Amino acid sequence: MENIVSNAERRSIVTGEREIVPRIADIYAALPAITGKIELEYEGELVGGHNIARELIRRAADATFHSRTGGVNADDIIMWFDGGGALQVNDDVDSQAVVEGFRSVPGLLGLVEMTALAEKRDAPVVAAACELILESLVARRKISRTDAGLYGRSHDEKRRRPYAD
């Protein structure tokens, strides 16, 4: 938690924002601290600590989104990504610029407003809410997210057998 808040504080210093609001990107910035805390079981040794930590983040985002909003329809967002839309989200960008980027995704800002996840005028919370929605869609494998924060079309994951290399 300290690493997540520290990354949000660092961003506010760099961007000059007065309000400090942690976002999903800040959780990913704390990934090394998270993986350092995970005690790997046999399955973890096969898929790796980073993969387990990423999956935990995604599941937590999905559970949070669904507990706050129920089963709202995000088809417009999914279809935009399926049509080739992509969006890069960095943890070093101020909230207003991030929200401007989210405007390119049809229905995303409207979904934040409709579900009352954030007030329209509160850019830091709107940015965090948009990331929460996108991360929930990643958890449900409706869209994808790279380690660099690029959201895009979902890809079918190819299952590998252990030691198949």
Q: Does a structural domain hold residue 121? A: yes
Q: Does a structural domain hold residue 163? A: no
3-state secondary structure of 7: helix
**Per-residue pLDDT band at 155 (split at 50, 70, 90):** confident
Q: For the segment 128-147, what is each residue's pLDDT rounded down to a tens digit? A: 999 999 999 999 999 999 98
Q: Which residues contact 154 (CB under 8 A, 6 or more apart)?
A: 81, 82, 141, 142, 143, 144
Q: For the segment 67-97, what is each residue's pLDDT rounded down to a tens digit? A: 999 879 999 999 999 999 999 998 888 999 9
Q: Does a structural domain hold residue 164? A: no
Residue 157: predicted pLDDT: 54
Report the share of the chain in percent with pLDDT over 70: 87
In this structure, is the dihedral angle defined by the CA atoms of residues 108, 113, 115 and 119, taken in order, positive or negative?
positive
Mean pLDDT across the chain: 87
Residue numbers of the domain that contains 60: 2-153
Specify the DSSP element, H or E, that contains 65: helix 49-69
Q: Assess whether pLDDT exceeds 90 at residue 126.
A: yes
For the segment 2-31, the average pLDDT, to the nearest whole number, is 91
For the segment 5-31, the average pLDDT, to the nearest whole number, is 91
Alpha-carbon distance 60 to 9, whole Å? Answer: 22
Q: How many domains does the chain have?
A: 1
Residue 82: predicted pLDDT: 96
Residue 70: predicted pLDDT: 86
**Per-residue pLDDT band at 165 (split at 50, 70, 90):** very low
Tokens of 96: 């207003």
Q: Does a structural domain hold residue 15? A: yes
Q: Assess whether pLDDT exceeds 70 at residue 62.
A: yes
**Per-residue pLDDT band at 35 (split at 50, 70, 90):** confident
Q: Does a structural domain hold residue 69? A: yes
Q: Does a structural domain hold residue 159? A: no
Q: Does a structural domain hold residue 42? A: yes
Q: Does a structural domain hold residue 165? A: no
